[in-house]
Structure 1
Amino acid sequence: MLNKQKDDRITQLTTEYDVKEKDQKISLLNTQNELNTLRIEKSNRQKLLYGIVALSFIICALALYYLLRLKSKTNKELAEKNDIILKALSEKDILLREIHHRVKNNLQMISALLYLHGKSVDDTSAQEALMESQNRVQSMAMIHQNLYQNDNLLGVSVKDYMDKLMNHLISSYNIEQDRIHINKVINIAHVDVDTVIPLALIINELISNALKYAFRDGRNGIIDIFFGERNGDIVLEVKDNGPGLPKNVNKDENGNFGFKLINILTERLGATWTTESVDGTKVTLVVPHKKAA
């Protein structure tokens, strides 16, 4: 009886051990399955992350390639448009130079005709009138010559123009170079075409008047010329040390043709001009800033 109880106890313990061992194996297998599941999930997450990174890289690379292609295409189009613009500007410059050249030639032809006509008449007054007209035409021809010979087609080099005009007028009136001393102060390098053409005619009239009337007795003389800016306005001053204007001469009422021409040109410029007769004659012309611009 005692042996039987022992056997039963042993069998019971053996069964319990086997059950416990199986439970441990099952638990171990479950743990291993969970670890495998975690490894698989981790691997899948890594693959997904790598996939996202790779896809992002591909998208960025494609976007960069597209932007580079677009930039290259845009730069090419801009370069082509710039070439077209530069070509058009070059053609325009050539055309403008040719126009100024032809205008200069035509004006010089008119000047030559006036000169020849002046030589063919005997009346002194007619000769003087023709010579003055020739000088006016020549002063405009010099403007167009200055324009097509220089790089700046929109403005005239004032100093070059003044020098050429002085030499032409002194030669035209047969005045010895050392008899009239001309002082020039020029503070403006270039003047736009719309302003300089009427200014050129005004300068021609003022210098011509000084050469004709201020020193007609053959004595030596001085002409002071100022051309610059004051308070943003263009200012032209021409002063001589001659006898001054006759008292009966009024630039606004009974002036000669030259004064009448200056009045017309001054009005065109929206400018004002005044005369003084103190120690000679001084003429001051002021072109407002809004017009000079």
Structure 2
Amino acid sequence: MMKLTPNLRIFLFGFTSFLLTVSTADAQAPDPNDLARKIDSVLALDEELVLQAAYDLTRSYIRAEDPLAVHRMFDSITDAPAIELSSNLNFAPFYLRKGDTKNSLALRKRSLELAEMVENDPKIFDALMSLSSHYINVAKADSAALYTNRAEAVLVRNKDRFYDSYEMVYRMRADIAHILGNYKQQGEYLEKAWEVIADNPNHPRRGFLLFLITDFFRQTDDLDKLAYFTEELSAYYKEKTINTPDFHLPIDQILLGDYSDKAVANLERIVRKSDSLNNFNALSVCTIALSRAYLKNGEPEKAIPYLKNAIKRLKDANYLYSNTGERQMLREIYLATDNYKGAYEILMDQKIMEDSLRNSEILSKIADYEVKYQTQQKELELQQTAANKKILTSLLWAGGIVLLLVLYFLYKNRQKNKKLAKQKQLLETTLDEKNVLLKEIHHRVKNSFQIVSSLLYLQSESIDDKEAQLAIKEAQNRVRSMVLIHQKLYNKDQLVGINTKEYFEDLTRDIFESHQFSNKPIRYATDIKPMVLDIETITPIGLILNELITNVLKHAFPEVDDQSEMQLRFDKKGDALVLELQDNGQGMPEEVAESSFGIKLMKALSKKLKADLTFKPGPKQGTLASLEITKFNLLG
């Protein structure tokens, strides 16, 4: 039989339970009121955060002086599933260390019930792993295998969510193989566990697993694998700072096999401390290490009381996983002291115990569990395959329907586009025809106005009365303001609007050229903001502007000199258009002839534009005429 001892089991507890308690003063029992407030804070969190927060809260007290008292305190404060689940998972191992296997098992099973009740797969997995760990520690390989299989089934359902957890499953299977004495399979499972996390340098159990693997291959004398994993372990710890209590087995001592007097004294102290704290993992490892040190140093008899104590303590606590290691070591010590009777008795005792752990009934159960598990996995895979096929079929049908709909809408859209293209072509043809007609209409209107203007001119030539001639000339000028509008519409592509800057400047120039009453011209300046107004707006504004400019030319300057000037401004201010005409002439008379045709015409046109026409003295002299228009149609 291969000589194997789980020398590094101390690190299982070290990495999963914050190592050993440094001293009983490390953590005090919580105040019940303070703990109740913390629990209330956790339970007030969102549903998806409660489980993790509850786990963190309960775990923060596992280093208390009396963890079991803290567990009872949690239990008395609340029965909330999240708190109870987390509390049971974190404190169940302490009941096992006290030898209370019944309560340890009950708490773990209750954790599984709660995890299944809240339907949280990560916590279901944790509870199943906790149950598997319990049965491994009491060396019940069949039950450990059952719960390990169930835990792996959870991972199969969540393969993409927490794949790294396969490392725990394979490590549990390695421990089961160790209990059954199948050391080849133990090594295979340890290597499988390593394959899972090898590419994850930050995995929390990386160092612990490397310790287990290195120790395994050291004991099996597999030098190639030992060299490889020792190198991995050394590289890992070069990047880490390990803080362990002073009564822990030093890491360099494990790796180098230091058996100096100082190391032996340190081991003796660790054994006593582990024994007093019921830390059976540490007690087992350190007792075996201490015994080897005594054997190496030629003092094997000193190891006997330590080994007997460890065997008894582990047996009384039903903590059987490591018990074969102590018996095997005691047999070596008896042989070294020539106590062959003692060696024979402990060998028989060890054999009886191993036979009880590895009897045919247990092996049959494990084989049956494996078959059932494999069958279940196949069924799950088949169900998953069927579900995937069903989903794929549904997707294909849905895709086909969507494709048909797309093709249908593309066809309808194409037909619609064809129809729209025809309508567009028809509209463009109609629009072209309309534009031609509009141009023709504007041309004819312009010609008609031109005829009227010519008739007025001929009429004025046959009249000797200057007042009559002037009246006809003013009428001719009004007609010309409208001729100019239609002329611009006829010559432009835009047939419905007039640019104010072009029109007002051209109109002003025409009026000045046709109404020059003095040999000396009056200077004028324009400041017109360009904008496009429709015919209905621009026509009355043009007629009003014609009247205003004509009045300036007729009445503003009795004598024209170099200072005589008129300014025309047009802009948009707020919601209104403002036309201003200012001169520096003699100014308006105090009483304006309201009955004159020009004034009546401007008021009538202003009313049509909903405009306000005002006259007031200019800033220095002359007159400022202002037309504020509120009804207009701005095209651009």
Which TM-score band (shorter chain)?
0.7 to 0.9
Does the 8 A contact of 1:118 with 1:127 survive in 2? yes
**In structure 2, what is the equivalent of residue 134 of structure 1?**
476
Larger RCO, structures 1/2 (Cα 8 Å, 6+ apart):
1
Q: After TM superposition, list the pairs within 5 Å mapping 1:71-150 onto structure 2.
A: 71-150=413-492
Determine the structure 2 residue equivalent to 1:164.
506
Query: Helix, strand or coil for the counterpart of 2:464?
Result: coil
Residues 124-133 or 214-223, more deviating: 214-223
* 1:57–1:275 Cα change, 3 Å: closer
Identical aligned pairs, as a percentage? 37
> 3-state DSSP class of the match of 1:203?
helix
Bigger CA drift: 186-195 or 57-66? Answer: 57-66
Residue pair 1:188, 1:229 contacting (<8 A) in 2 also: no
Where 1:116 maps in the other structure, the secondary structure is: helix
Q: Judge conservation of contact 2:614–2:626 (CA < 8 Å) in 1.
A: yes
Which whole-Å CA distance do the structure 1 matches of 2:602 and 2:517 have between them?
24
Deviation at 1:125, TM superposition (A): 0.6
The match for 2:617 among 277, 283, 288 is 277
Tell me how far apart the structure 1 counterparts of residues 597 and 395 of structure 2 sit (CA, whole Å).
Answer: 90
Measure how far apart 1:178 and its partner are. Answer: 7.1
Q: Give structure 1 stretches of 5+ with no counterpart.
A: 1-44
SS at match of 1:248: coil
Amino acid at match of 2:571: G
Distance 1:161 1:103 in 2: 17
Q: How many residues align?
A: 247
Q: Tell whether the 8 Å contact from 2:439 to 2:495 is kept in structure 1 after alignment.
A: yes
Post-superposition Cα deviations, 1:4-37, rounded to whole Å, max 9, x if no partner, equal: xxxxxxxxxxxxxxxxxxxxxxxxxxxxxxxxxx
| Equivalent residues in 2 for 1:193-204, closer than 5 Å | 193-204=535-546
Once residues 633 and 414 of structure 2 are traced to their aligned partners in structure 1, the CA distance between those partners, rounded to angstroms, is 44
The AA in structure 2 aligned to 1:127 is Q
**Mapping for residues 143-292 of structure 1, pairs under 5 Å:** 143-174=485-516, 179-220=521-562, 221-250=564-593, 253-254=594-595, 256-278=596-618, 279-288=621-630, 290-292=631-633
Q: 1:174 to 1:71 in 2, by over 3 A?
A: same
Pairwise CA distance, 1:146:
1.4
C-alpha change, 1:60 and 1:160, in structure 2 (3 Å) is: closer
Letter of the structure 1 residue corresponding to residue 437 of structure 2: L
Q: Contact conserved, 1:183 with 1:223, CA < 8 A, in 2?
A: yes
Q: Which residue identity does 1:77 align to in structure 2?
A: K
What is the Cα-based RMSD across aligned positions, in Å? 2.8
- The alignment partner of 1:285 has SS state of strand
User: Using a 3 Å threshold, how does the CA distance of structure 1 residues 126 and 59 change in structure 2: closer, same or farther?
Assistant: same
Distance 1:52 1:229 in 2: 65
Q: What is the rounded CA distance, in whole Å, between the counterparts of 2:609 and 2:516 in structure 1?
A: 32
Q: CA separation of 1:79/1:114 partners in 2, compared to 1, >3 Å: closer, same or farther?
A: same
| Structure 1 residues 221-265: Cα deviation after superposition (integer angstroms, max 9, x where no partner) | 111111111122011111111101122325xx34x2111111111
Which letter does structure 1 place at the counterpart of 2:551? N
Q: SS of the residue aligned with 1:272?
A: strand
CA deviation after TM superposition for structure 1 residue 134, in Å: 0.2
- CA deviation string 1:48-82 (max 9, x = no partner): 98999988777666554433322211111111111
How far apart in 1 are the matches of 2:519 and 2:427? Answer: 49
CA contact (8 A) 1:239 1:280 kept: yes
CA 1:219–1:62: 2 relative to 1, 3 Å: same
Counterpart Cα distance in 2 of 1:58 and 1:292: 54
Amino acid aligned to 1:228: D
Q: Deviations over 1:148-184 (max 9, x none)?
A: 2222222111121122212211221236797321111
- 1:175–1:164 Cα change, 3 Å: farther
- Note closer, same or farther for the CA distance 1:158–1:291 as it changes in structure 2 (3 Å cut): closer
Q: Is this contact kept in 1: 2:570–2:577, CA < 8 A?
A: yes
Deviates more, 1:196-205 or 1:62-71: 62-71
Q: Report the Cα offset of residue 216 of structure 1.
A: 3.8
What amino acid maps onto 2:475 in structure 1?
S
SS of the residue corresponding to residue 174 of structure 1 reads: coil
SS of residue in 1 equivalent to 2:443: helix
Within 2, Cα distance between the matches of 1:282 and 1:190? 25
Q: Distance in 1 between matches of 2:408 and 2:525?
A: 67
Aligned to 2:165: none
For the structure 1 residues 217 and 176, does the alpha-carbon distance in structure 2 shift closer, same or farther, using more than 3 Å as the test? closer
> Structure 2 vs 1, CA of residues 69 and 176 (structure 1 numbering), >3 Å: closer, same or farther?
farther
Q: Tell me, in whole angstroms, the C-alpha distance in 1 between the residues paired with 2:476 and 2:482.
A: 10
In structure 1, what is the Cα distance between the partners aligned to 2:601 and 2:395? 84
Q: Relative to total residues, which structure has the larger strand share, 1 or 2?
A: 1
**Residue identity opposite 1:143 in structure 2:** I
Q: Quick check: which has more Rg, 1 or 2?
A: 2
Q: 1:66 to 1:177 in 2, by over 3 A?
A: farther
* Residue in 1 that maps onto 2:238: none
Partners of 2:507 and 2:433 lie apart in 1 by 30
Contact 1:228 1:236 in 2 (8 A): yes
The answer on whether the counterparts of 1:147 and 1:153 sit within 8 Å (CA) in structure 2 is yes
The one-letter code of the counterpart of 1:183 is A
1:74-132 CA distances to partner (integer Å, 9 max, x unpaired)?
Answer: 11111111112222222222211211111111001100110111111111011000000
Q: TM-score, normalised by structure 1?
A: 0.75
- Shift in CA distance, 176/149, structure 1 to aligned 2, threshold 3 Å: farther
> Unaligned 5+ residue runs, structure 2?
1-385
- In 2, distance between residues paired with 1:125 and 1:102? 31
